[in-house]
Structure 1
Amino acid sequence: MSEKNREEKRSARERLQQERAADRTREKRRRTLVVSAAVVGVLGLVAVVGLVVANVGKDKADSAGGPVSAPSGLTGKDALAIPVGATDAPSTLTVWEDFRCPACAQFENGFRSTIQELEKAGELKVEYHLATIIDGNMGGTGSLRAANAAACAQDAGQFAPYHDVLYQNQPAETDDAFAKNSHLLDLAGKVDGLESAPGFRECVDGGKHDDWVNKSAEAFRTGGFSGTPTVLLNGESVFPKKGNENITPDSLKKWVREANKGKKAGSTTPSAPSSIPVESTPAGTPPA
């Protein structure tokens, strides 16, 4: 065999070895990606794809600073919280969210049954605060329109089921479908009695609570929150984790029951909202 033939065979063997090594590297990388994807899938709900970060410069607020038409039955500072659950429950979950926010929908749809279980047991009440950061970040008015419609549902005593319907039917973040009052009214048909409730349609079409929603959005913007959803258990942040522990349905139950140890479960349900919304005034303004 000539020296030239031996050199060609040696080169061919080296190329084959290099190709096999490259194949092994690619296979190792593929397996790593598969394993990583599986881990992400398992932890997806815990991560909830991260917070939707607030674009604080673009939200619109009620600049007039005058009285706003607030929905009925509100609680908390400046009457900005919509309460759900027993009023005397020993623990409080405070939730700031935006109906267009995908991470909010993942939180609500993933934890709904757990939260409702704790509410029904009198262990937890929830105070919902509405924000409109996606309107500012993406453009459009769907956050505002949906929040106003939810406030109208609060007047009719149907906030909780309508709130759930909105998140169960949330459009893509870039699709401003909630900007159409007609669509919001169609979704109200999924809640027994809401669409035909006295004043509900007029409240939605007329944007009756827009100024109140803007006031709530302003409170979110100036409250030092980083994004939605913001979830606080008895004032302590628990989303996406509490301390070093990720939030899951089981961990949320554990945290609530730890906080409630030795305390009596609540049993007092909120009084039904009146059909005529109360008027709220800016903070610091004395009542007439």
Structure 2
Amino acid sequence: MSEKNREGKRTARERMMAERAAQEAKDKRTKKLVVGGVVVAVVAAAAVTGVVVQNQRSKPETPVAAPTGAIGDKSLVIPSGAADAPSTLTVYEDPRCPACGMYERTFSPTIDQLEDQGKLQVNYHVVSFIDRSLGGTGSKHGANALACAQDAGHFRDYHDVLYRNQPDETSDAFGDKQVLLDLAKQVPGLSTPVFEACVNDSKYGGWVSAVQQDFDKSSYKSTPTVLLNGTPIYPKKGDEQISPENLAKWVDEANAGKQPGSTGSHGQSPAPTSTASEPNTPPTAP
């Protein structure tokens, strides 16, 4: 074979090898692009799924109804006393919280008197985290029963009765709705078929959950949390320890030169004309 022919065959063979190598390189690039695209798509899908799941987890429960007269953002607060009172006491408490029971048994007579004098309105945030910590349903059912009492115009009296008869924190006695209904008999005019149905049906269960979710997002991490005109006063205000006498003094100091508000019977709002109002939309050691 001539040198020329051998050179021609070698050149053809090298050209074929070069074309094959180029094709293999192209195939590898294509495969990488496909795989990469799949990975990107999977990551993107996972990201979307993660957002959806996170949105589902963080989406607050929207109460279908709030108790009559509830105020504040999303109607999560139950007021007691004159709406035009010159001072406001804000209270976060759980029906099962023993420290809340001690606070209420110590201060409720003074607070009721200040309400009756038109000096103070109390805004209650009825939370229910102890169920989550200890199990049971007493916090939620107690909070729902308080909302039902608000509908009937007897929130304050029933609230005081619940805390005077508060069971041990670990007993979950308020998880028995009959206990809540029996205690209502101590409040004249509260024990009615409407109230009983409201308690038994957990009418305000969604509202109770929304109040707790609002507390979870707040800067307050324990109960009772008590503020006078936005300033924390429990267990002390500045260097002064809270006491019934100091509470009355602090309210009088805050109200100096201001007219008292008008009050209804026992410092409560008049009995409502409807059973519920639609809302605008929608822990730690006790």
* Alpha-carbon separation, structure 2, partners of 1:252 and 1:78: 29
Q: Deviations over 1:126-172 (max 9, x none)?
A: 11111012111211110000000110111111111111111011010
* Alpha-carbon separation, structure 2, partners of 1:143 and 1:158: 19
Q: CA deviation at 1:87?
A: 1.1
Give aligned-pair identity as a percent.
52
> Counterpart of 2:108 in structure 1: which amino acid?
R
* 1:87 and 2:86 matched: no
* Alpha-carbon separation, structure 2, partners of 1:229 and 1:239: 8
Q: CA deviation at 1:64?
A: 5.9
> Counterpart of 1:84 in structure 2: which amino acid?
S
**Which of 123, 128, 132 is the aligned partner of 2:124?**
128
Q: Do the aligned partners of 1:100 and 1:143 also contact (CA within 8 Å) in 2?
A: yes
* Alpha-carbon separation, structure 1, partners of 2:107 and 2:58: 32
TM-score normalised by structure 1 residue count: 0.74
> Given the superposition, is the C-alpha separation of residues 264 and 191 from structure 1 closer, same or farther in structure 2, using an over 3 Å criterion?
same
Q: Do the aligned partners of 1:73 and 1:271 also contact (CA within 8 Å) in 2?
A: no
Q: Deviations over 1:11-52 (max 9, x none)?
A: xxxxxxxxxxxxxxxxxxxxxxxxxxxxxxxxxxxxxxxxxx
> Given the superposition, is the C-alpha separation of residues 263 and 281 from structure 1 closer, same or farther in structure 2, using an over 3 Å criterion?
closer
| Structure 1 outlier segments of 4+, above 4 Å | 61-64
Q: CA deviation at 1:271?
A: 4.3
Aligned pairs (5 A) from 1:1-288: 65-196=61-192, 198-269=193-264, 270-283=269-282
Q: Secondary structure at the match of 2:88?
A: strand
Q: Do the aligned partners of 1:95 and 1:230 also contact (CA within 8 Å) in 2?
A: yes
> Given the superposition, is the C-alpha separation of residues 63 and 183 from structure 1 closer, same or farther in structure 2, using an over 3 Å criterion?
farther
* Alpha-carbon separation, structure 2, partners of 1:223 and 1:238: 17
> Counterpart of 2:101 in structure 1: which amino acid?
A
* Alpha-carbon separation, structure 2, partners of 1:67 and 1:96: 19
- The residue number in structure 1 matching 2:10 is none
> Counterpart of 1:80 in structure 2: which amino acid?
L
Q: Do the aligned partners of 1:98 and 1:134 also contact (CA within 8 Å) in 2?
A: yes
* Alpha-carbon separation, structure 2, partners of 1:186 and 1:278: 26
Superposition RMSD on alpha carbons, in Å? Answer: 1.6
Where structure 1 has 5 or more consecutive residues not aligned to the other structure, the ranges are 1-60, 284-288
Q: CA deviation at 1:273?
A: 2.0
Tell me the number of residue pairs that the alignment of Structure 1 and Structure 2 aligns: 222
Larger Rg: 2
Q: Do the aligned partners of 1:70 and 1:212 also contact (CA within 8 Å) in 2?
A: yes
Where structure 2 has 5 or more consecutive residues not aligned to the other structure, the ranges are 1-56
> Counterpart of 1:282 in structure 2: which amino acid?
T
Report the structure, 1 or 2, having the larger helix content.
Answer: 2
Segment of structure 1 superposing worse, 77-86 or 265-274? 265-274
